[in-house]
Amino acid sequence: MTSISGRGCAHGFGVGFLLAASVADVLIMGAAGDRVGPTAVLLLVGLAAVLWPARRRPAWLTPQLRAIAPALLSGLLTVDVLLSGREALFGPGEVAVLLCVLFIAVRHCPPRWAVVCGLLDAVALLATPVRDSHSLKDGGTLGFMVGGLVLAGLVAGLAAYLRSLDYRRTVAVADTRREERVAIAADLHDFVAHHVTGILVQTQVARMMATTQPDDLDPVLAGIERAATEALASMRRTVGVLRDTGEEADRRPVGDLAGITGLTEAFASPVQKAALHRDPAVPDDLPHEVQAAAFRVVQEALTNVRRHAADATEITVGLGYDDARLSVSVADDGRGGTQLPAAAHGGGFGLVGLKERVTALGGELHAGPRAGDGWEVRAVFPAGRR
């Protein structure tokens, strides 16, 4: 609130200064007997270019036009004074307007236009003292030009610095969005691979049961339908994110500890029993990134059971919590027998990506054979509560 109030006060002070300086210009020229009309038009155009609210600014009022119009009017006024041989004063309002449009040119104009508009504004500013022939006699013109050059340099330097910050922020936002989309693509792969592998396995079971147990096919077919529906929903949510709908937080496929229950229950089939053993000490308010990583560990491990150990009959998923560390394990009793086609086995990068995800959170991942038959995947995360 303090920052917003301070910014508002600074903006109000700037607007008040510009208006006061412009009024001073008109009063000075009126008192000196100069023509007030051209200067008044210049000041009105300059104030419109600088102070027109961004939300109400028409599309045709581009930064280039805002930077060029006041400078051209100032230049024409200087040329008119020189050609007519008369003298004319200039005041702080015109100087302030030209400095403001110089700032607009350097910070907001497209790169090529920024140079052209900036130079035009600077030349118009440095040419204003030429209108007063008295200054030419006592060297005041040179002094003002040096001072104007310093001011123009400071304003242009500040605008260029802020423009560089804008560019860096744009690049950072683009990089972040690109990284997020890569992560979303990985999530989509995990979700769809898990569901499609389940569809494939259950289809094989259904084919075997079609001849031996045709009356028991309905639960298997229902599982295939559920897996296909979930895969389509995951793809729909992810595609929605990639279309820049601006609802990434709501649409991105997510997983947490509560989702592991549904994941385990959905994995079970007539020929494979899956059970979740959750330690009552496991809290529900662990950091979201830890819960999501735990969900991915279980998801990838169950997918690998289907791919590489279709003969497993019992799969156990465990969640434990001790000394502010969450442990996640998935164990099966398979011997490594599988009837899946070679193309469905995956590229062998699932555990590699999983290990990167776990170690990025300061955890450890172990995957290897159990004592006796079967395989176990186990991950341990440092997981203080939120």
Report the helix count and the strand count for the chain, using DSSP H and E. Answer: 12, 5
- The burial class, CB within 10 Å (0-12 / 13-18 / 19+), for 44 is middle
Residue 286 CA to residue 324 CA, distance in Å, equals: 10
What are the backbone angles phi and psi of residue 252, rounded to the nearest 5°?
A: -65, 135
> How large a percentage of the chain has pLDDT more than 70?
72
Residue 40 CA to residue 25 CA, distance in Å, equals: 9
Residue 349 predicted with pLDDT over 50: no
Residue 307 predicted with pLDDT over 60: yes
SS3 312: coil
Residue 123 CA to residue 117 CA, distance in Å, equals: 10
Q: What six digits make up the tokens of 214?
A: 């045709």
pLDDT of residue 146: 81
Residue 318 predicted with pLDDT over 90: yes
Closest CA to 268 of 211, 213, 222: 222
pLDDT interval class at 68 (50, 70, 90): very high
If you average pLDDT over residues 69-85, what whole number do you get?
Answer: 86
Report the amino acid identity of residue 27: L
* Strand (E) or helix (H) holding 319: strand 314-322
If you average pLDDT over residues 240-250, what whole number do you get?
Answer: 49
Tell me the residue length of the chain.
386
Q: What six digits make up the tokens of 82?
A: 């020189």
Residue 1 predicted with pLDDT over 70: no
Residue 344 predicted with pLDDT over 50: no
> How large a percentage of the chain has pLDDT more than 90?
18
Rounded to an integer, what is the distance from CA 378 to the centroid of its chain? 34
For helices 111-127 and 63-84, angle between their N-to-C axes, nearest 10 degrees: 30
Q: How do the residues of the chain divide into helix, strand and coil, expressed in percent and rounded to 5?
A: 70, 10, 20
Task: Provide the β-strand partners of residue 368.
Answer: 376
The domain segmentation of the chain, as residue ranges, is 2-138, 258-386
pLDDT of residue 250: 43
Cβ neighbours of residue 229 closer than 8 Å, sequence gap 6 or more = none
CA-atom Rg of the chain in angstroms: 36
Instruction: Name the least confident of 23-32, 69-78, 89-98, 291-300.
Output: 23-32
13 or 226: which leads in pLDDT: 226
Q: What is the mean pLDDT of the chain?
A: 77
Under a CB-based contact definition with an 8 Å cutoff, are residues 364 and 328 in contact?
A: no
Closest CA to 331 of 320, 341, 317, 321: 317
Rounded to an integer, what is the distance from CA 163 to the centroid of its chain? 19
If you average pLDDT over residues 183-197, what whole number do you get?
Answer: 65
Residue 294 predicted with pLDDT over 60: yes
pTM for this one? Answer: 0.51
- The burial class, CB within 10 Å (0-12 / 13-18 / 19+), for 191 is buried
Pairing of strands 273-278, 314-322: parallel
Residue 238 CA to residue 152 CA, distance in Å, equals: 50
Residue 358 CA to residue 326 CA, distance in Å, equals: 12
Instruction: Name the least confident of 231-245, 264-278, 322-336, 371-385.
Output: 231-245
If you average pLDDT over residues 157-175, what whole number do you get?
Answer: 87
pLDDT interval class at 193 (50, 70, 90): low
**How far from each other are the two terminal CA atoms of the chain, in whole angstroms?**
26
Residue 92 predicted with pLDDT over 80: yes
pLDDT of residue 253: 47
Q: 258-386 maps to which CATH number?
A: 3.30.565.10
Residue 65 predicted with pLDDT over 70: yes
212 or 10: which leads in pLDDT: 212
Instruction: Name the least confident of 209-223, 312-326, 340-354.
Output: 340-354
Residue 244's CB is within 10 A of a number of other CB atoms, namely 10
- The burial class, CB within 10 Å (0-12 / 13-18 / 19+), for 196 is middle
